[in-house]
Amino acid sequence: MKVEQLKIKEYCSIFNNKVMLNEQLIFENQETDFSSFIKLAYKKLDTNYPKFFKMDDLSKLGFLAADILLKPISSDSERPKNIALAFSNSASSLETDRKHQNSIVDKENYFPSPAIFVYTLPNICLGEISIRHKLYSENSFFIFNHFNAGYLYDYATCLIKTGKADEVLCGWINRDADDYEAFLYLVSTEGSIAHNKEEIIKLYTRK
Amino acid sequence: MNKIYLSYNNIVSSLGFNSPTVVENIRKGVSGITLIEDENLFPTPFYASVINSNLIKEAFESLGSNDDYTRLEQIMIISLDKTLKESGVKLTDRVGLILSTTKGNIDTLDPKHPMPPERAYLGTLGHIVKNYFGFTTEPIVLSNACVSGVLAVSIAKRFIAQGTFDQVFIIASDVVSNFILSGFNSFQAMSSLPCKPYCKQRSGINIGEVAVSVLVSKDHDNLVPEAVEVLGEASCNDANHISGPSRTGEGLYRSIQSAFKEAKVGPQDMDYISAHGTATTFNDEMEAIALNRLGLDTVPLNSLKGYFGHTLGGSGLLETIIGMHSLYHSTLYSSLGFTELGVSQPINVITETTTKNLDYFLKTASGFGGCNTAAVFKKVQS
pLDDT higher than 70, residue B89 = yes
Per-residue pLDDT tens digits for A54-70? 999 999 999 999 999 99
Q: Which residues of B touch A92 (CB under 8 A)?
A: 104, 121-122, 143
CB contact under 8 A, A144 and B144: no
Q: Which residues of A touch B106 (CB under 8 A)?
A: 97, 101
Residue B52: what pLDDT? Answer: 98
Q: Domains in chain B, please, with CATH?
A: 5-217 (3.40.47.10), 228-379 (3.40.47.10)
Residue A3: what pLDDT? Answer: 56
- CATH code 3.30.1490.20 for A3-206: no
Residue A51: what pLDDT? Answer: 97
Instruction: Give, rounded to a whole angstrom, the gap between the first and last alpha carbons of chain A.
Output: 30
pLDDT band at A75 (very low <50, low <70, confident <90, very high): confident
The helix (H) or strand (E) run that includes residue B46 is: strand B46-49
pLDDT higher than 90, residue B209 = yes
pLDDT band at B380 (very low <50, low <70, confident <90, very high): very high
CB contact under 8 A, A112 and B185: yes
Q: Is B156 on the interface with A (CB under 8 A)?
A: no
Q: Is B105 on the interface with A (CB under 8 A)?
A: no
CB contact under 8 A, A139 and B240: no
Residue B256: what pLDDT? Answer: 98
CB contact under 8 A, B237 and A137: yes
CB contact under 8 A, A100 and B182: yes
Q: Is B127 on the interface with A (CB under 8 A)?
A: yes
pLDDT band at A74 (very low <50, low <70, confident <90, very high): confident
Q: Is B183 on the interface with A (CB under 8 A)?
A: yes
CB contact under 8 A, A136 and B123: no
pLDDT higher than 80, residue A80 = no
pLDDT band at B244 (very low <50, low <70, confident <90, very high): very high
Q: Which chain A residue is nearest to residue B237, measuring alpha carbons?
A: A136
Q: At what angle do helices B19-27 and B315-328 cross, to 10 degrees?
A: 70
DSSP characters for B309-365?
-B-GGGHHHHHHHHHHHHHHTTEEPP-TT--SB-SSS--EE--S-EE----EEEEEE
pLDDT band at B285 (very low <50, low <70, confident <90, very high): very high
Q: Is A176 on the interface with B (CB under 8 A)?
A: no
Mean pLDDT of B15-26: 98
B131/B127 Cα distance (integer angstroms): 6
A126/A117 Cα distance (integer angstroms): 16
Q: Which of A94, A117, A137 sits opposite B183 (nearest CB)?
A: A117
Residue B106: what pLDDT? Answer: 98
Mean pLDDT (chain A) is 94
Residue A108: what pLDDT? Answer: 86
Q: Is B138 on the interface with A (CB under 8 A)?
A: yes
Mean pLDDT of B177-203: 97
Residue B58: what pLDDT? Answer: 97
Mean pLDDT of A33-52: 96
CB contact under 8 A, B159 and A158: yes
Residue A2: what pLDDT? Answer: 55
Residue B115: what pLDDT? Answer: 97
Using the Cα atoms of residue A68, residue A135, residue A132 and residue B152 in order, give the sign of their dihedral.
negative
Per-residue pLDDT tens digits for A94-125? 999 999 999 999 888 899 999 999 999 999 99
Q: Is B145 on the interface with A (CB under 8 A)?
A: yes
pLDDT higher than 80, residue A77 = no
CB contact under 8 A, B140 and A162: no
CB contact under 8 A, A120 and B183: yes
Q: Is B43 on the interface with A (CB under 8 A)?
A: yes
CB contact under 8 A, A140 and B235: yes
The helix (H) or strand (E) run that includes residue B12 is: strand B5-12
CB contact under 8 A, A138 and B138: no
- Domain spans of chain A? 3-206
pLDDT higher than 70, residue B264 = yes
pLDDT higher than 70, residue A180 = yes
pLDDT higher than 70, residue B237 = yes
Burial class (CB in 10 A: 0-12, 13-18, 19+), A81: middle
Residue B2: what pLDDT? Answer: 85
Per-residue pLDDT tens digits for B142-162? 999 999 999 999 999 999 999
B251/B287 Cα distance (integer angstroms): 10
pLDDT band at A73 (very low <50, low <70, confident <90, very high): confident
Mean pLDDT of A66-95: 89
* HSE (side-chain half, CA atoms, 13 Å) at B378: 16
Q: Is A97 on the interface with B (CB under 8 A)?
A: yes
Mean pLDDT of A143-158: 98
Q: Which residues of B touch A105 (CB under 8 A)?
A: 110-111
Q: Which residues of B touch A112 (CB under 8 A)?
A: 182-183, 185-186
Instruction: Give, rounded to a whole angstrom, the gap between the first and last alpha carbons of chain B.
Output: 22
Q: Is A126 on the interface with B (CB under 8 A)?
A: yes
pLDDT higher than 90, residue A1 = no
pLDDT higher than 90, residue A81 = no
Residue A115: what pLDDT? Answer: 96
Residue A107: what pLDDT? Answer: 85
Closest by CA position to B309, among listed B6, B18, B51: B51
Interface confidence (ipTM) of the complex: 0.97
Q: Name the percent of chain A lying above pLDDT 90.
A: 89
